[in-house]
Structure formats: structure tokens, C-alpha cells
Amino acid sequence: MNKKFTCVDLFSGAGGLSKGFMDVGYDVVLGVDNDETALKTFSMNHGNAVTMKLDLNDHSNLDTIVDFLDGRNIKLDVLVGGPPCQGFSYAGPLDINDKRNFLYLAMVKLTDKLKPQAVLLENVLGMIQANEGLGAKRVIDDFAKIGYKMIPKLLFAPDYGIPQIRKRVFFVGLRDSGEDFEFPPAILDAEHYVTCEDAISDLPSLQTETGDIIRGTELQDYMTAPLTEYQQLMRRNSEKVYNHIGAIPIDKTKKMISLVPEGKNYLALPDEYRCLYKYNEALTRYHSKKPSLTINTGHRSHFHYKYNRIPTVRESARLQSFQDDFIFYGNKTQQYKQVGNAVPPILGQVVAEKLKGYLRSDE
């Protein structure tokens, strides 16, 4: 019963999903993506895991993964991944025939080759809502053909202690099993959600006494001792603050955001300024007493609940539930992209813990 179940992360990005698996005792052996910088972040934060840069549009590249595992005599227990499906995302034009919607087939084919005990696929809300759930039906049908009954479930991040309004669909399938995977129940209700203030109020303000925004340095001290249980968890393995470099806004932006109360956006501006903005999340200031909006990939539309600047990479990572010892690599644009594209590690963790009860240690 002490066996470490093995895990491979396909379309891994920085590896938020597999970090959750790793944190509850799985042996994450491999991360695969086509983003070299994200793979460096993955490599530096996943112990002895190997990374591969592969184009998964080309299914012949899957043999490289099979050969790697065979060469190390690794029997895969769980395959996880979050294949891009931009055609089902509400963040862009819905197009069910977008070729990126079919990247999940790489997971189907690799599952068929390796036959892990379980497979987990994470994706956007549109998979079950857009076009009468066509995306979800495709996933369920294609995995059923190879012996995996995929159970889909919409998971709401705040329900599991993550300080961010994020809805994602998880599919979990068990190999040739008569059992349906049962997802873990919510652990928090709306009155007890972790808030932005709970999550990031101990981090350096990056603001002078006169209110000027500063960049900060690569390595900083915490502003205070941990003020909440969530901050204690995030700081558990770290004594310094990384990836906390401020972006100094231009005077116009600083003026505009200073006019927006917390929890509001550009619609709260005086009439003469409101017409300057059209994007529905423009100048959105987080609310200190609520979870943040869904962390994006760095569009510069979200602002700190208190300070007149966008959240730093570290603040965004905190809101995604990455602990402070998880360091992001690349330039700031690449780091924001890695954070925004990631699955919150805590969400991966709660599913991974539940999945243990369905896995056999004798395989």
C-alpha cells in the first residue's frame, strides 16, 4: 500500500496539475509540452521528473513517450493533461471545428498505448456548455472506445480553498472498471471562501510611502508574518519572495485605476472616461473580501484590490494556489502566461487524493 503511483503530465505547461499530484505523493516522472520555457519551470519544480518538448499534433511523437517509459521500465498509473481547446473557450470566438479542439486525441492515443489505470483530462467550461456539450461528448465517446468511462464534473475552485473564481471541467476515467469515479465534495461554502486579502496581504506592497509604484527586486522579504492559514500554507517551504516584480503603470492608467473602487471596473469611472474602454473586464479591481476573478495570462486588465498596479506573477500564482517555493522562469510575459494557463495545484491535489482510492497498488 506504500507504492508511489506514477504520473505523466501531457500538455503540462508549468505543471500545476501534476504539482497537485506530486504534493499528495504521486511520482511525477514526465512532463510534455511544446513550450520550452514552461518546461524549464516544470523541470525546476517537479523533483526528478524529465521533460520533453514535443509537438502533440503529430501523434508519431507519442512513441517517444512510450519508448522513454519502456526504457526505464515504468508502468504508468495515471495520465493527466489539459489539452488546449480554444474553440470551446468563452474567452474567444466559439468554433467547434477549431483544430486545437482535437489535441485531446493525443491523450486518447497515448492512453490506448500505455493503458494506465486512470486518465484525467482538464478543460474549459465550454466543453460541457457550448454547442449542447459537443466537446464533452467527443471526449467521452473516444475514451469509451478504448475502455475508459470518462466521468465529467464542473469544479469551482473556491469550493476547494482556492482564492479565485475559476470554473473548469475535469474528466476522470478508470480502465475497464465497473466503477464510476466520484469527485471529492466541496470543502468550503461561499461564506468561508478564501479571499484575495487572505491570499496575498503579506506580500510586499511595491509602493512607496508617497504612493509611487516600484519594481522591487528578484528576491524580497515578506512584508509581515503569515496573517492567515492560507498564507501559512503558501509560505510553508519558503523564506523569501520570488517572482514579485512590479509593473509600473503609465500615468493615465494609474489615474484611471485610482478612480475605481475595489470590486468594480471601468463602468465605475466618471462619464467622461468610461467611453475610453470597451473590454468587459477593463480596469477590474479585485475585491479584498472575495476571491479574485479567473487569473488570465497577463492581459493587464486586473488590478490589485488596494494598490494601483496589476498583480505580480507571485500574487497571481498565490491566487492560483502555487506555493511560494514554486519558481517561474522566463521573462515576465512568459511567467504570466504559465500562471494563467495552469491548473491550480490545490485542485489537482484534491482530485489526486480521491483518485488514490480507485488505484491498485499491485500493478
Q: How confident is the model at residue 90 (pLDDT cuts 50, 70, 90)?
A: very low
Instruction: Give the whole-angstrom CA distance, residue 361 versus residue 363.
Output: 6
Percent of the chain with pLDDT over 70: 94
pLDDT at position 120 is 98
Model confidence at 145, pLDDT cuts 50, 70, 90, reads very high
Q: How far apart are CA 265 and CA 163, in angstroms?
A: 19
In this predicted structure, the answer to whether residue 287 has a pLDDT above a threshold of 60 is yes
Mean per-residue pLDDT for 347-353? 98
pLDDT of amino acid 88: 47
Burial of 226 (0-12, 13-18, 19+ CB in 10 A): middle
CB–CB of 32/8 below 8 Å?
yes
pLDDT of residue 134: 85
- pLDDT of 94 > 60? The answer is no
Average pLDDT over residues 48-63: 97
> How does residue 128 score in pLDDT terms, banded at 50, 70 and 90?
confident
What would the grid cell of residue 278 be?
470597451
Burial of 228 (0-12, 13-18, 19+ CB in 10 A): middle
Question: Helix (H, G, I), strand (E, B), or coil: what is residue 272?
Answer: helix
Contact 169, 150 (CB under 8 A): no
Which one of the listed residues 7, 85, 196, 275 is annotated catalytic?
85
Contact 152, 128 (CB under 8 A): yes
Nearest to 309 by CA among 177, 240, 194, 213: 213
85 belongs to the catalytic site: yes
pTM: 0.94
Domains, the chain, in order of start with CATH, read 6-187+342-356 (3.40.50.150)
Mean pLDDT, rounded, for 83-93: 57
Q: What is the pLDDT of residue 178?
A: 81
Among the listed residues 158, 232, 198, 152, the one whose alpha carbon sits nearest the alpha carbon of residue 305 = 198
CB < 8 Å & 24+ apart, contacts of 138-146: 138/104, 139/104, 139/171, 140/171, 142/104, 142/105, 142/108, 143/108, 143/111, 143/119, 143/171, 143/173, 146/108, 146/111, 146/112
What is the mean pLDDT of the segment spanning 94-103? 60
Q: What is the pLDDT of residues 211-225, one digit of tens each?
A: 899 999 999 999 999
Q: Supply the mean pLDDT for the chain.
A: 93
Average pLDDT over residues 68-88: 88
With a cut of 50, say whether residue 89 has pLDDT above it. no
Contact 175, 115 (CB under 8 A): yes
Q: How far apart are CA 315 and CA 337, in angstroms?
A: 14
